[in-house]
């Protein structure tokens, strides 16, 4: 049984199902209650579960993230919505020093079953502060899992898994994917948090990507296939820990790899992925791994500049062709 849902509806279904299944699960964040969330992910949940389980908070990211961590320590399962993930930089201390490390520093006495989710990524002219891709900042925080969904199907399965997970999970959604529509099963399903997904099998080159860039890659792949190439596409899904097994298996098959990411290049996700692949599959590589990232600048407001800042499908096609010819 399938039904067609937008991604934001799939996410709401996931939260709804988990809240019905487990009384400890609750949602908090700015405007999540009566307003239903700025992207409608928690729409109507407050009428079903009440104001205490769908809790509107003041505009104070550091405080309500800290509050959620405290709730998690006492046995609840909070789902924090960052109205925009860039605002979570205000809660960096709570996420890094408390959420990420408390399990360790308490000698295992406390666990933090916390989900922090929200929209990130470059949208349509949202300018520098609302277009951030925060995954790279949190990549180095020990104790944190980072997951990026890319379709309504994996959004639902992964969010359910994240809520059930006993560790703090940073769950990244993309502003421009909320209105993506897909047929997904009506039955309950949960997807593993730490597995990358081979989206398209191929033999010539491995294209590694995540979140919205998956859709840019798939557009590029169409053109590449038309030109007789057979690329393999991997959706990373788990940005931390990285599913190295899937990556190394693929690279051992294709011997060439290219990483497409939406975050900035310096210190980005691709840097870590590359370093890992090199250290585990150095002899398998026929050419240096290429990385295509956004420009190392704050995201411009100007629409043309914003597009120029992002990796476009044509660039991916060009890069793959160049890589294939080396």
- Closest by CA position to 29, among listed 65, 2, 3: 65
Give least dist CB 120 to other proteins, A: 13
Query: Which residues belong to the active site?
Result: 61, 130
Whichever of 214 and 271 has its CB closer to other proteins, that residue is 271
Among 44, 47, 97, 314, binds other proteins (CB under 8 A): 97
Among 37, 54, 291, 316, binds other proteins (CB under 8 A): 291
> Per CB under 8 A, does 271 bind other proteins?
yes
Q: Count residues contacting other proteins (CB under 8 A)? A: 47
Q: Tell me 90's DSSP state.
A: G
Give least dist CB 238 to other proteins, A: 12
Cα-based angle 136, 64, 146 (whole degrees, multiple of 5): 25
Burial letters for 69-90: b for 16+ Cβ neighbours within 10 Å, e otherwise?
Answer: bebbbeebbbbbbbbbbbbbbb
232 is in an annotated binding site: no
Residue 22 CA to its chain's centroid (Å): 24
Q: Candidates 11-19, 109-117, 134-142, 211-219 — which segment interacts with other proteins by CB under 8 A? A: 134-142
Strands, E assignment, 106-176: 115-120, 145-148, 169-174
Q: Candidates 33-41, 149-157, 260-268, 314-322 — which segment interacts with other proteins by CB under 8 A? A: 260-268
State the burial class of residue 12 (Cβ atoms within 10 Å of its Cβ: 0-12, 13-18, 19+): buried
> Per CB under 8 A, does 121 bind other proteins?
no
93 is in an annotated binding site: no
DSSP strand pairing (238-240 vs 145-148): antiparallel
Say which residue the tokens 């557009």 belong to: 219
114 is in an annotated binding site: yes
Query: Which token pair is 296?
Result: 């190392």
235 is in an annotated binding site: no
Query: Which token pair is 131?
Result: 């277009």
Binding site for other proteins (CB under 8 A): 62, 86, 89-90, 92-93, 96-97, 100-101, 104-105, 127-129, 136-137, 139-140, 142-143, 240-241, 263-264, 266-272, 274-275, 278-279, 282, 285, 287-291, 296-298, 301
């Amino acid at each position: 049984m399938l039904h067609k849902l937008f991604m934001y509806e799939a996410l709401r279904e996931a939260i709804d199902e988990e809240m019905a299944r487990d009384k400890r699960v609750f949602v908090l964040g700015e405007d999540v209650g009566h307003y239903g969330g700025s992207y409608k992910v928690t729409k109507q949940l407050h009428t079903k579960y009440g104001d205490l389980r769908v809790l509107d908070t003041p505009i104070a990211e550091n405080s309500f993230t800290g509050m959620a961590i405290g709730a998690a320590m006492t046995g609840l399962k909070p789902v924090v919505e960052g109205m925009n993930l860039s605002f979570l930089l205000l809660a960096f201390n709570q996420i890094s020093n408390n959420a990420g490390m408390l399990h360790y520093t308490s000698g295992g006495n406390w666990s933090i079953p916390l989900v922090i989710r929200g929209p990130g990524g470059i949208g349509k002219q949202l300018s520098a502060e609302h277009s951030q891709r925060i995954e790279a900042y949190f990549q180095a925080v020990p104790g944190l899992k980072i997951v990026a969904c890319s379709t309504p199907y994996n959004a639902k399965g992964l969010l359910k898994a994240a809520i059930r997970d006993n560790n703090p999970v940073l769950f990244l959604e993309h502003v421009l994917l909320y209105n993506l529509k897909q047929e997904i099963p009506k039955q309950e399903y949960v997807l593993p948090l730490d597995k990358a997904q081979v989206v398209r099998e191929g033999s010539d080159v491995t294209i590694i990507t995540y979140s919205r860039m998956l859709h840019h890659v798939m557009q590029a792949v169409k053109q590449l296939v038309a030109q007789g190439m057979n690329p393999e596409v991997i959706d990373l899904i788990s940005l931390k820990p990285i599913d190295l097994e899937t990556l190394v298996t693929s690279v051992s098959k294709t011997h060439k790899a290219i990483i497409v990411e939406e975050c900035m290049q310096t210190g980005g996700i691709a840097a870590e992925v590359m370093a890992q692949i090199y250290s585990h599959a150095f002899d398998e590589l026929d050419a240096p791994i290429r990385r295509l990232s956004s420009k190392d600048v704050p995201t411009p407001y100007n629409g043309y500049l914003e597009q120029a800042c992002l990796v476009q499908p044509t660039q991916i096609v060009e890069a793959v062709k160049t890589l294939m010819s080396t």
